Structure formats: C-alpha cells, structure tokens
C-alpha cells in the first residue's frame, strides 16, 4: 500500500542571505521549498544541528499536508544544501522529529491507512519512521490497534485511531518512549493517553494506556515527558474528567503521570478547573520538578487564559504554584521550560486584545527562580509574521549552547537564539508596558572610573551586564551568576552610557 509519489519537477529555494558561513550567535530565516507549482515542503516539525554550520529539518509536503514526508539540510547562512522526499510506505502525517544519535532521526505521528483497491480511508495508526542524515529509511513501524477485519474493510473506521504527539529518547537505556493517544484499547473507543516503549529498532518493549479511574471520563493526550534522575518517566498532558461540559466550564484538566521503567503507573495528579493542559516539565534537582501549562481562569470557557507553574516533589505533592499573566491579555501558549544555573525560563505566547478584538500575538520569555519567583520578563514581536508570533513546532539545542526554533506562518521559519534565549526578534511589548522586576538594583560608584559594582538585595542573581553607548551600540558585556557583581570599565572611553542588567533593568552610567 503506497502513497502516490510526487516527482520533483523544480526546486526553487528562497532564503534570506547573510555574509558569514560560520555559525552566528543568532539568526532568523524564512523560506519556501517548491517541488512544483503547487506543492510546498512545510518544515513544520523540528530542526537539529548536524555540523558546525549545517542543520536538518523535517516536514510534510503540501498546504493540506499531503501525507508525504521530507527532510531538508541547510546552513546558517540560509542556503538549502539538500531537500529529499522520504520514501515512506504509508500516508504519513507528522507530529514531530526527534534525534536518536548523530546520524539517526525519528519522525513520529500517524499513518493514514487506505484500502488497496478502493483507495478509501479505513484506519489511522500511531507511527514512527527512522532515517539517517542522507534521507535513507532505516525502519518504519505502525502501532496501536486496528479496526476489526483490517485490512479488508472498505469503509472508514473512526473508533481505532491512534497517534503519537511526542517522543522521548532514553540514551542511557537505548529506549524510545512514544506517546500520544489511542482509541483502540477501551470499549468506548475514547482517546486515552497512550505510551509505547521500544528499543532503537522500534521493537515494542511495553505498552501503557490510561486505566479506568473513578474521575476519568475518557479522552486525553500526552504532550511532553522527561526521564528523571532515578530513571522513572514523568509525562504530562491533559485528560477529560467526569463532569458535564457547560457554557462556562470545559472539564479538561492538566495531568502529570509518573511511570516506572517497566511501564507501571506509580501515581497521577490533575490540576486546573477549566480547559487546563500541561505543556512541559523539568527536573530542577533530584526529586524536585516544575511543570507548566495553560488554563482559563476568568470569563467562562472562552475567557482569559493564563499560564500556570507548579513545583512538586517525587511523590506528586504540589509545593508551590504560580500564575503567568499579562494584565488583561490571555496567555494562550506555553511552549517550553528551560532550566539554567540559577532558575528556569518559560517560553510562550500571549494575545493582545483591545475591546475584545484580537490585536496581535507576542512571544514572551519569563525567568524564574527555583522557588517560582519572577526575576525577569521579555516580550518579542515577530514583525515579519502578520500576527506577531509564528506557529512554533520544535525546539532543540545547538552546539554552542543556543537554541534552534522551527515553525511556520505563511512560510517556513527557522531561528536561532543564544544560550540565554535572546530571540532574534524585535523586543518590546507591542502596546503593552514593559515591567521591570529588578527595581532595587544599585550601581556604585556612578560616575565610575574603573570598577563598577552591581548589587541586587532582592536575592535575584545578576546574570548579565551589558553596556551600550547612546546610539544603542553594544560596547561590552559580562555574564555572571551572583547577587553582587562587578565589571571593569577602565578600557572604555569617557562619556555617558546605558547599562542593562538581566535584559530588564536599565540606568544611565557616566564614565570619567
């Protein structure tokens, strides 16, 4: 059973150019890849760095995602070096790309299965496809249950749909944990949280499906996971609980599930009241974790949403909770949590409204201590995308400690940040006032001749000190992780400057 192949007729590559081929600290590229006049490759999943200056991305062909998978290799200057179709047996809708090792990559999502003779859609299976950098397929496998009589049935069966939405690679034990939802393993055929553990060849070791619980009404999906320091698996997502949906409440709760390495559920916790969903989780120290998600907290089912952070322990006890808000604007996405030396950062999207009308979407990056104290806020607007925030699909780490972001809006978008998550976008609130959280920072002496001392009595680490001249040109920068820091200014010229601390606190500075 083969998906019809599209023969490459013409490859048109439209990329922004930059002069250097060495890996820059940051970049932003939008591009299109056309295989003919109407079929485009959408790099809508993820990207990984594969050499000092080259990267690999994946996606589906066609605006309707035809079910044809492809991979692209490009460099940091924005030049496409190779674009290839992946010869997958089935119609393959991608949900993501993971990396097994330096030369093995894993696409995951769903196979849409069709009848050999009639061509009718008959089933949907969770799927993984492994390939190498060259684009050669190493293996492809389907998982989950099949409709009775498959593959000889001729009519669609919508009660046995299965799909993977996330994959966790366990490099220590050489395992793959693929997770999403399955309708095949319960009598009501509801979309239940679902995990398949395999080896690196895709052979199943164990399968787990959300069991029947008193508060569980069926329905759910798993989005992210981590392997903990004691080799257990923490997974997060959402489930539907046993309450009736009303005009004001959607009984979907965020969920955290802990499994043993053998696939036994050790505990589960739900949170939120109205349309809640857990997006990511990190381990901040052995036995201590932070999860992040979204829920609606005012205005009924479609009211103002906010982000939500929970610090919890190894037994699932909630220790501290914190809301992520942007005034009267909805925080509509929480993409990822990033752990650093003295806390963690949160990346997401908030929506700006004026008298109920949607004005724009902006990216936000908040920084927190491990006690969930807010230390810094940033907001970015992507001026190239008309809504200010493209649809982000994948995040990976680069060789220099930076981060690579993949998504799309009208076009494919790839961008790279530095190690401190300074995005290559226009910084600002786009009609929202910036909030400075480090208001008690003191600088002395000012005017200064040689050494400038920086103190923050709020027990918030000073991570970066940047000096600008009055034209906005960066003169010097120092990275540090302490409450009391200093910087040597003896080599800069006399005059007036702007000093910025942690990208949030600014003050005028005189060098004499």
**Are 310 and 290 contacting, i.e. CB atoms less than 8 angstroms apart?**
yes
342-351: pLDDT as tens digits: 899 999 998 8
Residue 504 lies in a domain: yes
Supply the CATH number for residue 492's domain: 2.60.40.3080
Look at residue 510 and give its three-state secondary structure.
strand
- Which of 223-232, 451-460, 501-510 tops mean pLDDT? 223-232
pLDDT of residue 405: 94
Residue 493 lies in a domain: yes
Domains held by the chain: number? 1
- For the CA atoms of 183, 216, 268, 335, the dihedral, rounded to the nearest 10 degrees, stands at 60
Q: Taking the model in full, what pTM does it have?
A: 0.79
pLDDT of residue 115: 77
% of the chain with per-residue pLDDT over 90: 43
**Mean residue pLDDT across the chain:** 82
pLDDT of residue 504: 63
Distance CA 171, CA 114 (A): 35
Residue 243 lies in a domain: no
**Are 145 and 128 contacting, i.e. CB atoms less than 8 angstroms apart?**
no
Residue 80 lies in a domain: no
pLDDT of residue 386: 59
Phi-psi region of 315 (alpha: psi -120 to 50; beta: other; left: phi over 0): alpha
Distance CA 502, CA 422 (A): 11
Angle (CA) 134-25-95 rounded to 5° is: 45
429-482: pLDDT as tens digits: 543 333 334 557 889 999 999 999 998 776 566 767 889 887 778 888 887 667
Quick one: DSSP state of residue 146?
-
Strand-pair partners of 227: 233
User: Residue 476: which domain range?
Assistant: 442-511
Residue 461 lies in a domain: yes
Query: Once rounded to an integer, what is the mean pLDDT over residues 103-122?
Result: 86
Helix/strand/coil (H/E/C) assignment for every residue in 68-79 = CEEEEEEECCCC
CB atoms within 10 A of CB 369: 15
Helices (H) and strands (E) in the chain, counts: 0, 38
Residue 282 lies in a domain: no
Strand-pair partners of 474: 468
Angle (CA) 301-302-307 rounded to 5° is: 90
Quick one: DSSP state of residue 307?
E
Residue 98 lies in a domain: no
Query: Once rounded to an integer, what is the mean pLDDT over residues 170-183?
Result: 95
Strands 451-455, 391-397: pairing kind = unpaired
pLDDT of residue 35: 56
For residues 391-427, b (16+ Cβ closer than 10 Å) or e, as one string? Answer: ebbbbbebeeebbbbbbbbebbbbbbbbebbbbbbee
% of the chain with per-residue pLDDT over 70: 82
- Give Dmax (Cα) for the chain: 85
Residue 486 lies in a domain: yes
């Amino acid at each position: 059973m083969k998906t019809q192949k599209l023969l490459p007729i013409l490859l048109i590559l439209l990329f922004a150019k930059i002069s250097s081929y060495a890996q820059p600290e940051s970049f932003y590229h939008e591009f299109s890849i056309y295989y003919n006049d109407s079929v485009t490759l959408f790099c809508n999943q993820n990207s990984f760095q594969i050499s000092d200056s080259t990267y690999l991305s994946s996606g589906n062909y066609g605006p309707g995602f035809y079910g044809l998978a492809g991979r692209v290799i490009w460099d940091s200057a924005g030049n496409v070096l190779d674009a290839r179709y992946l010869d997958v047996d089935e119609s393959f809708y991608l949900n993501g790309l993971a990396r097994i090792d330096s030369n093995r990559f894993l696409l995951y999502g769903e196979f849409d299965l069709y009848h050999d003779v009639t061509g009718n859609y008959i089933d949907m299976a969770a799927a993984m496809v492994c390939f190498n950098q060259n684009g050669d397929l190493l293996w492809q496998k389907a998982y989950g249950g099949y409709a009775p009589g498959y593959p000889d049935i001729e009519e669609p069966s919508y009660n046995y749909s299965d799909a993977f939405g996330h994959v966790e690679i366990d490099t220590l034990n050489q395992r793959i944990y693929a997770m999403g939802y399955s309708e095949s393993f319960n009598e009501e055929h509801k979309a239940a949280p679902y995990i398949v553990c395999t080896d690196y060849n895709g052979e199943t070791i164990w399968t787990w499906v959300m069991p029947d619980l008193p508060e569980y009404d069926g329905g759910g999906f798993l989005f992210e996971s981590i392997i903990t320091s004691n080799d257990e698996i923490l997974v997060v997502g959402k489930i539907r609980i046993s309450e009736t949906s009303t005009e004001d409440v959607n009984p979907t709760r965020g969920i955290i599930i802990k499994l043993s390495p053998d696939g036994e559920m050790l505990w589960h916790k739900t949170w939120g009241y109205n349309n809640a969903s857990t997006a990511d989780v990190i381990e901040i120290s052995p036995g201590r974790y932070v999860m992040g998600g979204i829920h609606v907290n005012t205005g009924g089912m479609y009211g103002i949403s906010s982000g939500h952070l929970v610090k919890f322990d190894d037994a699932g006890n909630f220790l501290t909770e914190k809301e992520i808000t942007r005034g009267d604007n909805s925080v509509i996405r929480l993409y990822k949590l990033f752990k650093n030396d003295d806390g963690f950062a949160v990346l997401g999207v908030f929506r700006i409204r004026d008298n109920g009308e949607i004005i724009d979407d902006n990216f936000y990056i908040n920084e927190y201590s491990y006690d969930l104290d807010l230390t810094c806020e940033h907001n970015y607007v992507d001026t190239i995308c008309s809504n200010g925030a493209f649809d982000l699909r994948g995040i990976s780490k680069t060789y220099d400690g930076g981060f690579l972001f993949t998504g799309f809006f009208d076009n494919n978008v790839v961008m790279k940040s530095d190690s401190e998550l300074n995005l290559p976008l226009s910084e600002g609130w786009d009609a929202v006032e910036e909030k400075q959280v480090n208001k008690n920072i003191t600088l002395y002496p000012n005017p200064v001749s040689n050494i400038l001392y920086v103190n923050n009595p709020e027990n918030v680490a000073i991570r970066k000190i940047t000096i600008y001249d009055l034209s906005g040109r960066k003169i010097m920068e120092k990275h540090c992780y302490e409450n009391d820091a200093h910087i040597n200014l003896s080599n800069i010229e006399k005059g007036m400057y702007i000093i910025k601390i942690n990208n949030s606190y600014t003050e005028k500075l005189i060098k004499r």
